[in-house]
Amino acid sequence: MVPYLCTAFQDVHVMIFVGFGFLMMFLKRYGFGAVGFNFLFAAFGIQWALLMQGWFHSFKSGKILIGVENLINADFCVGSVCIAFGAILGKTSPIQLLVMTLFQVTLFAVNEYILLNLLHVKDAGGSMTIHTFGAYFGLTVTRILYRPNLEQSKDKQGSVYHSDLFAMIGTLYLWMYWPSFNSAISEHGDAQHRAAINTYCSLAACVLTTMAFSSMLQKKGKLDMVHIQNATLAGGVAVGTSAEMMLTPYGSLIVGFICGIVSTVGYVYLMPFLESRLHIQDTCGIHNLHGMPGLIGGIVGAITAAAATEDVYGKEGFIKAFDFTGKYQTRTPSVQGGFQAAGIVVSLLMAFTGGALVGAILKLPVWGDPAAENCFEDDVYWEVPEDEESDVYHMHNPDKPASP
């Protein structure tokens, strides 16, 4: 087992199960669902992804060859489902989530095959395959599952103090391990090195602009936890394609700087608009964290690829960086840039059509989805303990108020 792969695998694994699981724990009464359902469909998804990606990429003489790299790729694939889960969080049954996982993993594998094998596109950190595809897939699904009466459970759509702190565990693990995520399957050596450092720089810059704009856009200048939990991560999404290329630390800082702004502005202005006008009920705001930054990431990747020269990468490094070997021997950077751009378009098309299809399937009245007034509520699917603690320990509680 190559040691780096193994480290990176464990880091990515933590991002999928603790990172996403806890990030979505911000709702006051949906902690069990957030972490538990994430656990359920991710454990299901990685098995299905091993099979799907195995058939596409490592099927030899009747057997699928499995290595640690396959485990990482399975986690990546499930990452796109975790993203889509963010849009429909609290509004679906576990069965619906499993059905969605089944289809989305399949579509992910097809989309990835088209991008990596047919278009020969580079996307090591998955700006296109994971984030753009996952986000617009999820947004399409939630659009189709639109619930006009969702305001009936509006009192449960917010957070409480402790749920926000749990969510920060998720945020921090995503943020800290993102350099491993973006470099996990890069070419060992220089490319991996670059990917980790560029991601680190982009994420660091993103935190600063997120905090600044969160404070600037709120009344009274207070910081909003929703922005800190989410928009700080946009910098990692937006260098997913280009991190392993010669984006340079300064380039990464600029990308992160911009994405912190775009994502925070998205939360404040765009998200209410999407909900009221386009009827897209996006619980976690994945459009701001994965959608727009994913698109930016695809575009930055296309530009960085198109701008590549042998001077900067060195002759050998240049060929290695873009795999300009075999039948791609004659591809030029500008052509590669064009194919990268095509990759964005393909991912979007797959997301919209796939999401529409899966949304329609999930709309069938057989999956036991919760009523509008029971959304964002664990009690529907979980044995929830009565919080007797308060009875016992809140001494101030006049259980039997002194009768007059």
The binder of its own copies chosen from 57, 110, 146, 224 (CB under 8 A): 224
User: Which two tokens mark 303?
Assistant: 């530009």
Query: Binding its own copies by CB under 8 A: which of 114, 119, 211, 357?
Result: 211
Nearer to its own copies, 68 or 319 (CB): 68
Cα–Cα–Cα angle for 211, 10, 94, rounded to 5 degrees: 80
Closest distance between its own copies and the C-beta of residue 214, in Å? 9
The window from 37-45, 302-310, 342-350, 358-366 that contacts its own copies (CB under 8 A) reads: 37-45
Identity of the residue numbered 235: G
Single residue of 23, 24, 29, 283 touching its own copies by CB under 8 A? 29
Q: Based on CB atoms, which residue is closest to its own copies, 239 or 351?
A: 239
Amino acid in position 245: M
- Looking at beta carbons, which pairs linking 188-192 to residues 24 or more positions away fall under 8 Å? 188/2, 188/4, 190/317, 191/124, 191/244, 191/320, 191/321, 192/4, 192/244
Closest to 129 measured CA to CA, from 140, 116, 145: 116
Measured CA to CA, the distance from residue 309 to residue 324 in angstroms comes to 13
CB of residue 162 to its own copies, shortest distance in Å: 6
249 binds its own copies (CB under 8 A): yes
- # residues contacting its own copies (CB under 8 A): 97
In the window 43-62, what residues touch its own copies (CB under 8 A)?
Answer: 43-44, 46-47, 50
Count the residues in the chain. 404
Restricted to residues 373-392, the positions that interact with its own copies (CB under 8 A) are 381-392
- Asked if 242 is part of the footprint of its own copies (rule: CB under 8 A), the reply reads no
161 is an interface residue for its own copies by CB under 8 A: yes
Q: Is 314 in the site for its own copies (CB under 8 A)?
A: no
81, 107, 116, 196: residue in contact with its own copies (rule CB under 8 A): 196
- CA 63, 65, 70: angle at the middle one, nearest 5? 135
- Candidate ranges 27-35, 111-119, 281-289, 347-355; the one touching its own copies (CB under 8 A): 27-35
User: Is residue 28 near its own copies by the rule CB under 8 A?
Assistant: yes
| Residue pair 196/183 in contact by the 8 Å Cβ criterion | yes
Among 121, 243, 258, residue whose Cα is nearest residue 181: 243
